[in-house]
Amino acid sequence: MVAHVLPRGSLLLARPTSRRRGSHVTGTAPPVVGRGQRTGCRPSGLTVPRQGRVSALALQSDGLLLSERTSPEEVKREIQRCYGLVHKLGRGVVYLGSSRVQVGHPHYEQAKQLAREVALLLDCTTWTGAGPGLMDAAFKGALEAKKPVGGFKIARESGEWTSSNFHPYLPPETYLTCRFFSARKHGLVDAAVRNNPSDMTAVVALPGGIGTLDEVFEILALIQLERIGSKFPVPFLLMNYDSFYSKLLDFLDDSGKWGTVARGEVEALWKVCGGNSEASDYLAEFYGLPQTKMNNNKISVEGSGFME
Rg of the chain on CA atoms, in Å = 21
Confidence (pLDDT) at 4? 42
Three-state DSSP class for residue 78: helix
Q: State the pTM of this model.
A: 0.76
Dihedral in degrees, nearest 10, Cα atoms 76, 81, 85, 91: 0
pLDDT tens, 285-295? 999 998 666 66
8 A C-beta contact, residue 209 and residue 100? yes
In this structure, what DSSP letter does residue 270 have? -
Phi/psi of residue 61, nearest 5 degrees: -65, -30
What would the pLDDT profile of 156-211 be if each residue is shown by its tens digit?
Answer: 766 666 667 889 999 999 999 999 999 999 999 999 999 999 999 999 999 999 99
DSSP E strand boundaries for the chain: 11-12, 17-21, 24-28, 47-49, 58-59, 64-66, 92-96, 125-128, 149-154, 175-178, 202-205, 236-239, 271-273
∠165-58-170 over CA atoms, to 5°? 10
Could you give the C-alpha distances from 147 to 81, 93, 117, 124, 298, in angstroms and in order?
22, 12, 11, 7, 16
The structural domains of the chain, ordered by start, are: 72-287 (3.40.50.450)
